[in-house]
Chain A
Amino acid sequence: MTTTFPPGTHQSADDPNVLLDDDFASYEPIPPYPPRTEREAEFYTLDDGEMYLNLGPQHPSTHGVLRVVLKLDGERVVDIDPVLGYLHRGVEKLCENADYHQTISHLDPLEYISSLFCEWGPVMAYEKLLDVRVPRRAEYIRVLSGELNRIASHELFMGWFALDLGGLTPILWAFIERDEIVEMLAALTGARMLFNYFRIGGVNGDLNHDFMSRLGDWMSRAAGQIDSNTRLLNENEIFVRRASGLGVIDTETALKLCMTGANLRATGVPFDVRRAHPYSVYPELDFDIPTRTEGDSLARYLLRMEEVKQSLRIIDQCLEQLPDGPIMAKLPRLIRPRPGRAWAALEGPRGMYGAYAISDGTDQPFRLKIHDPSFIHLQAVGALLPGHLLADTMAIMASLDPIMGGVDK
Chain B
Amino acid sequence: MDRALKLRLETRFGDILRGAVRQRHDETEIRIGAEDVIDTLRSLYDEPGLGFTMLADLAGVDTGTEMQVVYHLWSATTSDWLRVITIGLSRDDPRIPSVTFLWKGAEWMERETYDMFGIIFEGNRDLRRIYMPPDYTSFPLRKDFYLADDAARSPGGGVRHMERTHEPADALPGTRRAGTGA
Contacts and interface: CB of A to CB of B under 8 A. Distances in A.
A340 B24 contact: yes
Contacts of A257: 103-105
A177 B91 CA distance: 51
A60 B57 CA distance: 30
Given A38-B126, A340-B24, A371-B56, A256 B108 contact: no
Given A85-B130, A85-B133, A342-B25, A256 B83 contact: no
Interface string B122-155: 0001111111111000001100010100110101
A363 interface: yes
A258 interface: yes
A362 B57 contact: no
B80 to A, nearest CB: 9
A40 B83 contact: no
A37 B128 contact: yes
With a 10 A CB-CB cut-off, give which of A259, A343, A364, A383 has the most chain B CB atoms.
A343
B132 A33 contact: no
B147 A379 contact: no
Interface in A81-109: 84-85, 88, 90, 92-94, 96-97, 99
A85 B132 contact: yes
Contacts, number: 120
Contacts of A352: 56
A93 B57 contact: no
A186 B131 CA distance: 32
Given A40-B126, A334-B155, A376 B25 contact: no
Interface residues of A, number: 50
A276 B131 contact: no
A324 B157 CA distance: 40
Given A277-B26, A352-B56, A371-B57, A88 B131 contact: yes
A209 interface: no
- Main secondary structure, interface of B, reads loop
A363 B154 CA distance: 8
Contact of A380 (B59, B105, B128): B105
Contact of A345 (B56, B107, B127, B145): B56
Interface string A331-375: 000100000111101000000101010100011100101010001
29 contacts: A37-B125, A37-B128, A40-B126, A40-B128, A84-B130, A85-B131, A97-B150, A97-B158, A99-B155, A256-B102, A256-B104, A257-B105, A258-B55, A258-B105, A258-B109, A259-B105, A277-B26, A277-B74, A341-B83, A342-B24, A342-B27, A343-B57, A345-B57, A356-B57, A356-B70, A362-B155, A367-B61, A367-B141, A375-B109
Interface of B: 24-27, 29, 53-57, 59, 61-62, 70, 72, 74, 76, 79, 81, 83, 102-109, 112, 116, 125-134, 140-141, 145, 147, 150-151, 153, 155, 158
7 tightest A-B CB contacts, nearest first: A258-B105, A39-B126, A369-B59, A257-B105, A85-B131, A88-B131, A371-B57
